[in-house]
Amino acid sequence: MSKNSTTRVQSVDRALSILETLSNYESLSLLEISEKVHLHKATTHRLVNSLLDNGYIEKDPITKHYRISLKLFELGNRRVQNIDFLNVAKSMIRQLAIEINQTVHLVIEDNNEVLYIDKYEPTQNENRMRSKIGMKAPMYCTAVGKAILATRSNTEITQYWENTNIKKLTNNTIINLDDFLQEIESIRKNGYAIDNEENEQGIVCVGAVFSSFKEVAAGAISVSMPILEIDKKTFFIEKVLETAEKTSKLLGHF
């Protein structure tokens, strides 16, 4: 590790030490902070000013004392909101999977791919999908991915297409942009997407996005079924749309 890298890490450690110290007091003077974290006053002053500039601490204009701000609370609260979002969505897909006795996935978009963050397979269902939690898949050939892409403009989709390695994974994979944009129009009209054995031979998926109070496409859910159960597709579509709508409402989207 270079000297500069070591210095940067040391500075971060020292700044965090200042924050932790301030969190234990109503306010402290610069000298008091310096003494409690065992740093030279000049070094402490530099770090305190950086924390002040970034909004992590506040300075009383009268006493000149410093106190911790609410910024860390705000950052932590965002994390809590994300956890709540996951818990709500996970609960909904479990209910759906048990009700229809099929595998249900929960995904989010991550760097123009879908990331499986939860999967529920009823124990009495003998059909096992190859998908795994933490696994990524292309957007262009999965129901959840196409559902998410349908919330974007055609210009954004074209940019995605041009920057993605589009390849034929099965005989049904769409690899022509014009055909894909027609598919997207159908998804927008119907409110759901179909993966017609485009990602995995013998498996059909129905997917729909759900929204939150801050995102149009917070994530997506899908039901996967073997091609032998394609006669139940209409029923699964209804259930996916119903679950996506309920999830959106629970997440504050109306």
CATH of the domain at 17: 1.10.10.10
CATH number, domain of 136, equals: 3.30.450.40
DSSP 23-60: TTSS-B-HHHHHHHHT--HHHHHHHHHHHHHTTSEEE-
Average pLDDT, integer, range 56-62: 95
Are 30 and 40 spatial neighbours (Cβ–Cβ below 8 Å)?
no
- Based on the domain organization, do 106 and 51 belong to the same domain? no
Residue 27 belongs to a domain: yes
- Based on the domain organization, do 176 and 148 belong to the same domain? yes
- Based on the domain organization, do 135 and 187 belong to the same domain? yes
Give the H or E element holding residue 220. strand 219-226
Under DSSP, the state recorded for 198 is: S
pLDDT of residue 8: 56
| pLDDT tens column, 148-157 | 999 999 999 9
- Based on the domain organization, do 52 and 170 belong to the same domain? no
0.95 cut: is pTM over it?
no
Look-up: residue for tokens 């939690």? 133
Distance CA 57, CA 50 (A): 9
- Based on the domain organization, do 190 and 165 belong to the same domain? yes
Domain count, the chain: 2
18: containing domain: 3-69
Does 127 have pLDDT greater than 90?
A: no
Residue 74 belongs to a domain: no
Look-up: residue for tokens 């000049």? 42
Span of 28-37, 155-164, 229-238 with lowest mean pLDDT? 229-238
Residue 75 belongs to a domain: no
Burial class from Cβ neighbours inside 10 Å (0-12, 13-18, 19+) for residue 253 reads middle
Look-up: residue for tokens 């818990």? 87
DSSP 150-176: TTS-HHHHHHHHHTS----SSTT----
Give the H or E element holding residue 149. helix 143-149
- Based on the domain organization, do 122 and 53 belong to the same domain? no
Residue 119 belongs to a domain: yes
Average pLDDT, integer, range 108-133: 80
Span of 32-41, 73-82, 158-167 with lowest mean pLDDT? 73-82
Domain C-terminal end among 39, 69, 99: 69
- Based on the domain organization, do 13 and 121 belong to the same domain? no
- Based on the domain organization, do 95 and 201 belong to the same domain? yes
Domain C-terminal end among 19, 47, 69: 69
- Based on the domain organization, do 118 and 163 belong to the same domain? yes
Are 111 and 120 spatial neighbours (Cβ–Cβ below 8 Å)?
no
CA distances from 116 to 31, 68, 95, 145, 189 (A): 51, 38, 18, 11, 25
pLDDT of residue 2: 42
- Based on the domain organization, do 59 and 127 belong to the same domain? no
Domain C-terminal end among 69, 92, 125: 69
- Based on the domain organization, do 229 and 173 belong to the same domain? yes
pLDDT of residue 229: 87
